[in-house]
Structures are given as structure tokens and as C-alpha cells.
Amino acid sequence: QVQLVESGGGLVQAGGSLGLSCAASGSISSINAMSWYRQAPGKQRELVARSTSGGMTNYADSVKGRFTISSDNAKNTVNLQMNSLKPEDTAVYYCYAEVVVPQGPFRLSRAYWGQGTQVTVSS
């Protein structure tokens, strides 16, 4: 159906910057929203940032002012620019896409997860 592939993860020192990208491919009629989640070991997966096709963005309080989400629905991509990184940002970051897919003569709303990319911030 739909595949999401994240890239850009890696190791960075505290205070540094890192950019993540996610590309969606497959049979997609349209994208309603794309988001970034993260999950640290032993913790719940949490929403980091979300961007809708209408241009609205939302951020977790912990990343406001430091992270910026941007999307290009025409290219089915979403990016996350992470600045002023802190050790507590260390996690696996997952792309999440809320899309409309064709199914025969119909269209269905579905959501898909990427496999995740590791971000490690050293102190």
C-alpha cells in the first residue's frame, strides 16, 4: 500500500542540529497530514510535530522553538529540522502519514508508520 522511509538520523552533540526527512511512496490519492513521533527506550511513543495539508502545524511543548516541521504534499515528503538538541531528545523518530488511498472505485482514509530512524544526542 504505502511505504514511509525516514532518513537523516544519527549522532550529534548537545546544542547541535539535525534534519530528518520522510518520503511516502505507493498508491496515495492525497495526504491529509504528516507527523513525527519519537520513542525512547522504556517510554511511550509521543507526538513531536504534526503538519496538515491545510498548513497547520503542532509541536510538543518540549520541542517548541527548537524543532520545525515542514511538508511538501505534492512530493509526499515531510521534514523535521531539529536545532539546539538536548540529550533528552535521544529516541527513535518515526514518520506517520495520514493519507487517502484508492481502493477500487472507492477512497479510504488510512494511516501508516515508518520504520524509524535513531537520533542520539550526546552530552
Euclidean distance between CA atoms 121 and 119, whole angstroms:
7
Q: How far is Cα of residue 120 from the mean position of the Cα atoms in its chain?
A: 16
Query: pLDDT category, 116, cuts 50, 70, 90?
Result: very high
Beta bridge partners of 78: 22, 71
Identify the burial level of 58 via C-beta atoms within 10 angstroms of its C-beta, where 0-12 means exposed, 13-18 middle and 19 or more buried: middle
pLDDT tens digit sequence for 60-88: 999 999 999 999 877 899 999 999 999 99
Residue (of 110, 59, 51) closest to 79 by Cα position: 51
Query: In whole numbers, what is the pLDDT of the chain averaged over residues?
Result: 96
